[in-house]
Amino acid sequence: MIIISAMLLLVYLLVFSSLIYSNKQYLYLMSGKMCSMILVMTTTLLIGLILGFILQGNFALSTIGSILVGFIAASIISGPFQSSVKLEALCSSVMGSMMGAMVGEMTVASDINILLLFMDSLFIVSMAYMMMMFKKDIVEKVGVGKRRNPVISILFSSVLPIVILGIFNFWGTNISPTNSEQVDHHHHLEVNTD
């Protein structure tokens, strides 16, 4: 699931970046500011979660790595906008990276799939909403464009990818509680009576 989440992250970032860079002259500044902050936060939360889980036990390295990768993602997402938008995106990337690395560090192996499914879903929904908002800005500024039914847009941009992720996430896993590993901690003091 970690590999699928990382691939999803890259594909969505590439699609979003190509949409932004090819239409930057039609986008409103406030839309760019809001989208950069939301997308950088969700992107870096996911990056931090993935790195925090992969590098469990080395919290410093996972935090530093997720912040550095988050800076790259923030630069890509906020690239076509003004410097104030870039600054907000960089600050959001630090916050999201640190929180994601912390959650990844604290997540036990049995819970990572459901957490990744939730974070991927959050990422997909935020990406889809921002793309719909940018398309609305483009239609308003250009004055030409085909308006689609929002239900169909939401279905194909959010619901379908989440369902596919859910299928991949739980494919071949048995969700019964008997398969989960139980860790017994012995907190009782043993007294030697010799």
pLDDT in tens, 48-66: 988 998 998 888 999 999 9
Q: How many domains does the chain have?
A: 1
Average pLDDT over residues 154-163: 66
* Structural domain harbouring 90: 2-170
Q: What is the pLDDT of residue 165?
A: 66
Q: Is residue 49 part of a domain?
A: yes
pLDDT in tens, 2-22: 787 777 778 878 888 787 788
Instruction: Give me the percent of the chain exceeding a pLDDT of 90.
Output: 6
Q: Is residue 191 part of a domain?
A: no
Q: What is the pLDDT of residue 152?
A: 65
Q: What is the pLDDT of residue 64?
A: 92
Q: Is residue 38 part of a domain?
A: yes
Q: Is residue 68 part of a domain?
A: yes
Higher pLDDT pick, 154 / 130: 130
- For residue 131, which of 150, 110, 107, 105 has the smallest C-alpha distance? 150
| Sign of the Cα pseudo-torsion (73, 75, 79, 84, in order) | positive
Q: Is residue 177 part of a domain?
A: no
Estimate the share of the chain in helix, then strand, then coil, as percent rounded to the nearest 5: 80, 0, 20
Query: What band does 109 get if pLDDT is binned at 50, 70 and 90?
Result: confident
Q: What is the pLDDT of residue 179?
A: 46
Q: Is residue 193 part of a domain?
A: no
| Sign of the Cα pseudo-torsion (36, 162, 7, 12, in order) | negative
The answer to whether 45 and 119 have CB atoms below 8 angstroms apart is yes
Q: Is residue 181 part of a domain?
A: no
Question: Residue 16 class from Cβ within 10 Å (0-12 exposed, 13-18 middle, 19+ buried)?
Answer: buried
Q: Is residue 175 part of a domain?
A: no
d(CA 90, CA 92): 5
